[in-house]
Amino acid sequence: MSSNIILQVNNLNVWYEDFHAVKGISVGYPEKSISAIIGPSGCGKSTFLRCLNRIYEEVPGAKATGEIILEGKNVLDKSVDPVELRKRIGMVFQKPNPFPAMSILDNVTIGLRLQGIKDKSYLMNVAEQCLRKAALWSEVKDKLHKLGTSLSGGQQQRLCIARALAVNPQVLLMDEPTSALDPIASAKIEDLMSELKKEFTVIVVTHNMQQAARIADYTSFFVLGDLIEHGLSSDIFTNPKEQKTEDYITGRFG
């Protein structure tokens, strides 16, 4: 874990039409660490995450102000191309979503293939590496040409992780990646995340506080669009500074 800040958010505000969903949040994410965002439903944690790769722009009427600094550049700036940004900040979604009518192999390599890379042995190599990193290789190596959608839910989610890794991002955003999975599949994803932080910076939104406590180096606690507290997970979960945080993690609120 290094303390080099890779992604610095300054005074981020998000509106959906008139609704103020994220209220002036500032937080920095150290390189090669796992940071968790927790909070009750509707606290803006997913919206916040979706700003980091500007996928929030897909929602009509959404507007963000403030700064998200990646390598000295504000990614919210109009001059930054969201297509280029998303190659560097990948994302995994709540529901496993392998692309329809596409094989396991094609699912992993599509990001590279559509960028114009045609070298088959190179693509195969990347696919194997990414599937290994996603702890899926041993389960799928004999059926790479089967449909991605034929896998189980947990396998599909790891396939989606492999797909996100294939374009070699620096930061990986995960929006409740285990909430649609059973406990065993969730545990596999959690183990995988701890492996991933050796190479990537992981920012994960989770409903599951125990999950945040288990895997995250840093945790932010959001309520109604406000950042209540951010710090080392060990501090947040054992010695919170704010009363609200303590109430939430002890189950008295939320």
Partner 1 sequence: MTYLHWRKFKNIAFHASLYLAAVIVLLPLFLIVSYVFKMGASSLNLDFFLAFPKPVGEVGGGMRHAITGTLYLVAIASIISIPTGLLCGIYLSEFGKGKVATLLKFSIDMLTGVPSIIIGIFAYILIVVPLKGFSAMAGGVALSIIILPIVCRSTEEILKLIPQHIREAGLALGLPRWRVILNIVVKGNLSSLITGVMLAISRAAGETAPLLFTSFGNMYLSYRIDEPMASLPVQIYNYAISPFDDWRRQAWAGAFVLITIVLGINLLSRLLVKLGSLRHLIRRGIK
Phi first, then psi: give them for residue 3, nearest 5 degrees. Answer: -105, 15
Among 45, 133, 163, 197, binds partner 1 (CB under 8 A): 163
The pattern of x and - marking residues 58 through 97 that bind partner 1 according to CB under 8 A reads: x-x---------------------xxxxxxx-xx-xxx-x
Residue 42, SS3 per DSSP = coil
Contact call for residue 110 and partner 1 (CB under 8 A): yes
| Beta strands per DSSP E along the chain | 5-16, 19-30, 34-38, 62-70, 73-74, 89-92, 171-175, 201-205, 218-223, 226-232
Piece in contact with partner 1 (CB under 8 A), picked from 109-117, 183-191, 202-210, 226-234: 109-117
Distance CA 121, CA 186 (A): 32
Q: Which is nearer to partner 1, 144 or 224 (CB)?
A: 144
By C-alpha distance, which of 242, 240, 238 is closest to 228? 242
Contact call for residue 103 and partner 1 (CB under 8 A): yes
Tokens of 244: 């609200």
Q: Which is nearer to partner 1, 54 or 188 (CB)?
A: 54
Number of residues that bind partner 1 (CB under 8 A): 34
Contact call for residue 111 and partner 1 (CB under 8 A): yes
Contact call for residue 167 and partner 1 (CB under 8 A): yes
Contact 7, 68 (CB under 8 A): yes
Name 14's bridge partners: 22, 64
The least distance separating partner 1 from the CB of residue 60, rounded to whole angstroms, comes to: 7
Residues that bind partner 1 (CB under 8 A): 53, 55, 58, 60, 82-88, 90-91, 93-95, 97, 99-103, 110-111, 114-115, 143, 145-147, 160, 163-164, 167
